[in-house]
Amino acid sequence: MTQLTYVYLAYSVAGVGLLSLSIWVITKSRSLIKRLKAIDQ
């Protein structure tokens, strides 16, 4: 592997980590809002 491959691999891993956390947070948030709305009605 070239030096730049290691660099891009590191940034991709960090990106995947942050993106996974964001997706988990947003999905949970949407589901909770939906359930709260359903209970309010």
* Residues found near another protein in the complex (CB under 8 A): 1, 3-4, 6-7, 9-11, 13-14, 17-18, 20-22, 24-26, 28-29, 32-33, 35-36, 39-40
Q: How far is the CB of 33 from another protein (least distance, A)?
A: 7
Residues for the chain: how many in total? 41
CA dihedral 8, 14, 18, 19 (to 10 degrees): 30
All residues at 6 or more sequence positions from 9 whose CB lies less than 8 Å from its CB, including other chains: 1
Q: How far is the CB of 8 from another protein (least distance, A)?
A: 9
The residue type of 16 is: V
Q: How far is the CB of 25 from another protein (least distance, A)?
A: 5
